[in-house]
Amino acid sequence: MNFRKRDDSGMERDCRTTALKYIGYRERSTLEVSSHLKEKGFSGREIQETIEYLKELNYINDERFCMAYASDGRSKGRGPMRIKQALLEKGISGELVDIALTELLDPQREKEAALREADKILRNRGEGNEGEIDEKILARIGRRLSGLGYHTSIIYEIIGQLRKN
């Protein structure tokens, strides 16, 4: 079925075409596509049929989106809690999120990523591994790691390790 609407310029636009254009830029979740189409003024029936069409063609796939988003988040230094929260907000089920995070982030990898983030802060402040690290710097590292979504246990372990050095 081809659903058409007139936009502000008077041109007809099709629900499927609008959706395809939206997902053409990057991978999207089902909820993102649905919300976008709703904002554009399409009816619930049009949106539902378009979503089903896109899923049949495997143009939208929440499992694939979840894995790609989690992988991208990890490569940007984000912790598992932040990635999980963002995926849940994008309409991905908690079960899918947990599977993706288990596959991509084991505790050792999470600790290594958190250490890399801590090292960035130390390098930017001109402090290397020599001497004692100021408590203000340690607090800043803790806040940064927390903001990136790392588990509290990992944050305390990193700060404890930096204090010993």
Domains in the chain, CATH or no CATH each: 4-56 (no CATH), 62-104 (1.10.10), 107-164 (no CATH)
Nearest Cα neighbor of 5 from 18, 24, 21 is 18
Residue 100 contacts residue 61 (beta carbons within 8 Å): no
DSSP-assigned letters across all residues of 23-65: HTSS---HHHHHHHHHHTT--HHHHHHHHHHHHHTTS--HHHH
| pLDDT at residue 5 greater than cutoff 70 | no
Q: What is the pLDDT of residue 24?
A: 93
For the entire predicted model, the pTM comes to: 0.76
Please give the residue that has the higher pLDDT: either 77 or 20.
Answer: 20
Distance CA 45, CA 110 (A): 43
Q: Which amino acid is at 142?
A: G
| pLDDT at residue 10 greater than cutoff 50 | no
Classify burial at 127, counting beta carbons within 10 Å of its beta carbon; exposed 0-12, middle 13-18, buried 19 or more: middle
Q: What is the pLDDT of residue 73?
A: 92
What six digits make up the tokens of 118?
């801590």
Q: What is the pLDDT of residue 6?
A: 47
